[in-house]
Amino acid sequence: MLEILDMSKHYGDVHAVNNLTLTIPPGEIFTMLGANGAGKTT
């Protein structure tokens, strides 16, 4: 299981992620899509 609670990421004054809460139960398949250089691996 993966659980993220109230995650935020800011680049200066830009709020890239604000108060994200995410739960992925065991056995679920999750995909993150985005353009090259969007920070998916970060």
The answer to whether the pTM exceeds 0.85 is: no
Which amino acid, residue 24? I
- The model's pLDDT over 10-24, given as tens digits with 9 standing for 90+, comes to 999 999 899 999 999
What is the average per-residue pLDDT within 36-41?
Answer: 85
pLDDT band of residue 4 (cuts 50, 70, 90) is very high
Q: Which residues contact 5 (CB under 8 A, 6 or more apart)?
A: 21
Say if CB 22 and CB 1 are below 8 A apart: no
Q: Where exactly are the structural domains of the chain?
A: 1-28
